[in-house]
Amino acid sequence: MDSDDALRYALDKPGAWPDSPWGEDHHVAKVGSKIFLFPGRVDGRSAISVKNTETAVTELKQRYPELAGPAPYLNKRLWVRVWIDDLPEEEVRELIDDSYDQVVAKLPRSERPG
């Protein structure tokens, strides 16, 4: 799975929609008014930045020290950037699912899908 596949998967979630808040070259996936996925390519490698619990982010960084690290410009305790080229597709999907769930849980009821 690459970052384009990750974005397509994210946009299949209920209420998810694409946005380009920083111009056409910077796509994100949102639910309600909040971003839950920052896909991209850095140094020729596919990466995603996703939200999770502080514990899950710490565990992910420990499990994949060469693939997971701080997400630039985001809360370092709750967001993580992961190089996904070498991760199993199911694990990438799970990271996106968890991020979506974390963001939806914090949305006001009026912005929640379904």
Q: What is the pLDDT of residues 68-94, one digit of tens each?
A: 999 999 999 999 999 999 899 999 999
For residue 4, the model assigns a pLDDT of 95
Average pLDDT, the chain: 95
With a cut of 70, which residues of the chain have pLDDT below it?
none
CATH class label, 3-105: alpha beta
Calpha distance 99→63 (Å, rounded): 18
pTM: predicted TM-score of the whole model, two decimal places: 0.94
Between the CA of residue 70 and those of 29, 49, 67, 112, what are the distances in Å?
19, 9, 10, 28
Contact assessment for residue 95 and residue 88, using Cβ atoms and an 8 Å cutoff = no
List the one residue out of 57, 47, 36, 15 whose CA is nearest residue 101: 36
Extents of the domains making up the chain: 3-105
Q: Which are the contacts of 17, defined by CB distance < 8 A and separation ≥ 6?
A: 11, 29, 30, 31
Q: Are strands 79-83 and 45-51 parallel, antiparallel or unpaired?
A: antiparallel
